[in-house]
Structure 1
Amino acid sequence: MTSHVISYGDAVNDALERMDDLGYERGAQGDLANHGPMGAEALAVMGHGEQVAAWVEGYRHAMPHHEPPAPRFALDPADEASWRPALGTFNRAGDWERLFERELADRPWRDVLARWWGRLLPGTLAGLTHGMIRTAHAVRGLAATPHPSAAQLTEFARGLAYWAARYTGLPGEAAFQGPYGTQGSPGSGRLADAVAALPRRPMTAHVTRGGAAERLRAVDEFAGYREALHALAPADPQLLLSEMTAEFAGIYLAHPEVFPVPLIHGVTAPAAARLVLPHLPAELHTPTLAALWQVHVALLLAFTGDRQHEEAVAGTARETPVPAFDELAARALEHQDEHVIKFTEACIREHALRPDPRFAAAVLAAQQRIPRR
């Protein structure tokens, strides 16, 4: 008896329909992002389309989600005085979703993306970068078909709406040292050197979820924060994205003492941005990289207290026995946790573009550190 092979598109659309009633967040504290659409899409990309429906049902029951927010007051996308005050106001999430639904009814999705990506970039930290990441997973689905389904367009609207409703700005503004192709001072302008030069504030105790949020809010008080925002020299965006993902895969690997989820986003956020860049105007590429670097600086200061093991992590990764990526993908499905699934898919994709042993070693570490569902 032959098994029925479910295509990527069919698996994604079925998953989105099964999760249509889930709100933007879940959990007792109410600010854990809904990972269902992202996890299902990543599983489908890794070739596990036949298992997506079962995974979705398990995800739905693992933790209660909040009700989808109802729209209250219309937002006018053409009037900045209407929409800008609603940025970062989570009780307007339903209004944001309705705004993007109207936008998508009137114009192609790429036009909506180009119009709003730059507006939302300063708030990239939204939901610990899940606004950008959810949007990017939706974009990959849209780009895979000439005729997007209603469910796919709704998911795209919800990705943007979550980004807008949880919009979180950081103090200061990241900027590269000079025009593309030049290098200024201080510092070498290289990502790895900028990471190494960033002072870390020692952790006085294990940082809880609330403590990490407090450190993020106080990031401007950390030594080196403002200087780091201008530490990078311009580079080809695709190359810089690869440097970001490889460097932060190593940082994840180097910090087993940290709660094992937040630093994952140092990889999944730039990997998500890579999915979107081909659909954006070129003038938005460099601002996207700058916004990601600012988030990286904040994550390092909030979640790491030293860099003791970061110097040797490349060697550690080379010496770590790791399974092949096909096996890691199968283990991610068996593991079931949505963070593991998304991280595994992102690292597989990034390694294929620019091989680095830190990717596989970091995936193996995440699969061991994060509890199975």
Structure 2
Amino acid sequence: MIGYEDAVNDALLRLDGLGYEHGSNDFATHGPMAAEALAALGHGDQVAAWVNNYRNTTEHHDPPERRSGIDPEDESSWRSALGEFSKAGEWEHLFARELAEAPWRDVLARWWPRLIPGMLSGLTHGTIRTAHAVRGIAAARTPSQAQLTELARALAYWAARYHRLPGQAHLRGTSDLGSAIAALPRQSADGGAAQPPPLPPQRLRGLGENAGYNDALDSVRPTDPQWLISEMTAEFAGVYLAHPEVFPVPLIHGVTAPAAVRLVLPHLPVELHEPTVAALWQVHMALLLAFTDDRRGEAEALAASQDDDVPALSELIARGAEHVDEHVIKFTEACAREYALRPDPRYEAALHAAQQRIPNRGALSVFPA
């Protein structure tokens, strides 16, 4: 058996040099995230084969070249570079330099509040990739150079794809999360949520003029951030289950993003916890308004999730580890971890649905050393 730390470091070395994105819609690379999640599930011996298959079957764009520097001490310099994907190389250089000069937690705490208004970046993959990198580093006795480089690249992707949603969410309302979701008005943005969606901001134009969105920014009541994350992951597992008509990948991030943020909160100053989960609620609103047209079976999701046909979580985890699709691997790990903290049948049912809705590209039969 290959342990977690060895599997993660080997994966990062195999993935070194891979571009940030792939495909005509510029989808985020999932290699480092899925490999780390597979190792966290206890399947370190499968990571190398999965990584090799991923590299061989997913053609990534070349990473942007570094053209000019970003000065982290000059706010006008770094702020103007947010959301400039052509500057991803400069961002990576900036974070690599800072991580070489200061403890990684200090770098994370300095940049986290600057980046959380853009949590939607790359359909939340900037945040999620950062969290997977943080878990790997935090578990290491001494972080490897490959792990520090991965954290630099994760933060760089977040900064380079930074997209700030209109308004700012605060936890100062009176509604629990389920009630806030139910009160959010839905309407079709383009007449077809079932098709593979373009990434924001194309899907989110006009969000700031949506009265329901603006009203919901302050609708959620203040509560313990860790509990609110559990509410988010359970409720959005139900949202995923209730919308088989939606292309099966985007709504997964309603679970994987808060589950990923949970990994980071222990390494951040406590005063950043509440603004972080408020930003997550804003991301969730955007996902609902961008990818769903109505509430459908959301109110019945909890009852529907108690179907006897849903396999046991242990079986779902085994199937998820064997599923080649990177989204299923990440979703499996997130649902299993969240279920362990607060058992809720919606995690199992949503995971079962995702494993059926997302095609498996073929089993891996060779596990190279």
Bin of the TM-score, shorter chain as denominator length: over 0.9
Unaligned segments of structure 1, at least 5 residues: 178-183
For 1:66 and 1:102, the matched residues in 2 are separated by: 24
Aligned partner of residue 306 in structure 2, secondary structure = helix
For 1:325 and 1:314, the matched residues in 2 are separated by: 16
Residue 59 to residue 211, structure 1, CA distance change in 2 (3 Å): closer
Quote the residue 1:36 is aligned against. 31
One-letter amino acid matched to 2:71: D
Does structure 2 conserve the Cα–Cα contact (< 8 Å) formed by 1:318 and 1:357?
A: yes
**1:18-167 correspondence runs (5 A):** 18-29=14-25, 31-167=26-162
Mapped pair 1:197 → 2:183 = yes
For 1:242 and 1:202, the matched residues in 2 are separated by: 28
1:72 positional shift: 1.3
Does structure 2 conserve the Cα–Cα contact (< 8 Å) formed by 1:212 and 1:303?
A: no
Q: Which of residues 358, 362, 365 is equivalent to 1:370?
A: 358
Aligned partner of residue 208 in structure 1, secondary structure = coil
One-letter amino acid matched to 1:51: Q
Unaligned segments of structure 2, at least 5 residues: 362-369
**1:1-373 correspondence runs (5 A):** 5-29=1-25, 31-177=26-172, 188-202=174-188, 204-210=191-197, 213=200, 214-373=202-361
For 2:246 and 2:323, the matched residues in 1 are separated by: 20
Aligned partner of residue 123 in structure 2, secondary structure = helix
1:210 positional shift: 4.8
1:334 positional shift: 2.0
One-letter amino acid matched to 2:192: A
Per the normalisation by structure 1, the TM-score is 0.94
Aligned partner of residue 231 in structure 1, secondary structure = coil
Greater displacement, 74-83 / 242-251: 74-83
Greater displacement, 134-143 / 322-331: 322-331
Does structure 1 conserve the Cα–Cα contact (< 8 Å) formed by 2:320 and 2:329?
A: yes
- Give CA deviations for 1:174-226 in whole Å, capped at 9, x if unaligned: 0121xxxxxx5xxx420000000011104633453456743322322334000
Please tell me the root mean square deviation across aligned C-alpha atoms, in Å. Answer: 1.3
Does structure 2 conserve the Cα–Cα contact (< 8 Å) formed by 1:122 and 1:170?
A: yes
Q: Percent identity?
A: 66
1:304 positional shift: 0.6
For 1:308 and 1:141, the matched residues in 2 are separated by: 38
For 1:162 and 1:79, the matched residues in 2 are separated by: 20
For 1:48 and 1:87, the matched residues in 2 are separated by: 36
Does structure 1 conserve the Cα–Cα contact (< 8 Å) formed by 2:177 and 2:231?
A: yes
Aligned partner of residue 170 in structure 2, secondary structure = coil
Aligned partner of residue 126 in structure 1, secondary structure = coil
Aligned residue pairs: how many? 359
For 1:263 and 1:20, the matched residues in 2 are separated by: 29
